[in-house]
Amino acid sequence: MSNQYLDPNLKVFSLNSNRPLAEEIAKVIGVELGKCSVTRFSDGEIQINIDESIRGCDVYIIQSTSSPVNEHLMELLIMIDALKRASAATINIVIPYYGYARQDRKARAREPITAKLAANLIETAGATRVITLDLHAPQIQGFFDIPIDHLMGVPILADYFEEKGLEDIVIVSPDHGGVTRARKMAERLKAPIAIIDKRRPKPNVAEVMNIVGHVEGRTAILIDDIIDTAGTITLAANALIENGAKAVYACCTHPVLSGPAIERINNSSIEELVVTNSILLAEEKKGNKIVERSVAPLIGEAIIRVHEDQSVSTLFI
């Protein structure tokens, strides 16, 4: 390895959610992935063995809690416990995609706040720090009583469109909740913003109602944190075309892409969907319209700075 990291006390491990990303991150840092095995007993219970000494080491676990969410969350909790009992000095959890983040408040009576429960589980298991990317609700940072570094995917997505050299662009938020994200993208690309006012009559169904801002004759770039069933983003794209946009691109940090998402995207007016590799995409979800950008350089740099007690604040913008 040409750029080998010299401190042997920095250890990086990967569980099962996104090993290709973990391998990229390890390469950025200049370390080999730590040796561990994740297996199942015949009844489905998870067993983890750490196959090297980590006593006194600063350990970083790469694990998105993406689908299957509960399997990956349990793997993470069991790994934390194993590291704690093996006397790791620090246990740093790198969660590129934080599952359950959309359950961040009580929207109706007698509902749980599962994002807080997941934070409690991670902290109680023994984690000493969390590094994550584009939380659906930024206030989830306050659910933890341990340090949390909240990185942003906007610079990675913006760099792609800068390289593409599109003209007469407008950045569009698909709902009012994403305006801050859209504004950051607009500042990076020196473009105006527009907002889509939508009504969601029931879960996973969105209805586009109105566009606030000027999109006629412009190339629209929709930006969101998560694209799940792609109902919101594809309806938004169609509404933009109907209101005179000459082309529509879309981007997001976390490509959940469940259910009919791929079919909807392929049949929509979206030219390209630019995503990051925070979630491992199955081959059948990779189509001509999907463009993937890596978050490994961002996360790798964050890990190095945390390990060396340097500031990570410049990575937040």
The one catalytic residue among 11, 27, 164, 198: 198
Residue 32: other Cβ atoms inside 10 A: 14
Establish whether 58 is an annotated binding residue: no
Annotated active-site residue 190? The verdict is: no
Establish whether 44 is an annotated binding residue: yes
Contacts of 189 (CB under 8 A, 6+ apart): 158, 161, 162, 169, 171, 221
Establish whether 55 is an annotated binding residue: no
Pinpoint the alpha helices (H) of the chain: 19-29, 69-85, 114-125, 154-164, 179-189, 231-242, 261-266, 296-307
3-state secondary structure of 287: coil
The CA-atom distances, in angstroms, between 164 and each of 111, 160, 167, 196 are 44, 6, 9, 24
Establish whether 224 is an annotated binding residue: yes
- Amino acid making up residue 268: S
Establish whether 232 is an annotated binding residue: yes
DSSP 3-state percent helix, strand, coil across the chain (nearest 5):
35, 30, 40
The CA-atom distances, in angstroms, between 277 and each of 83, 226, 309 are 26, 12, 27
Establish whether 228 is an annotated binding residue: yes
Establish whether 229 is an annotated binding residue: yes
Annotated binding site: 43-45, 102-103, 136, 175, 200, 224, 228-232
Annotated binding site for D-ribose 5-phosphate: 200, 224, 228-232
Catalytic residues: 198
Annotated binding site for Mg(2+): 136, 175
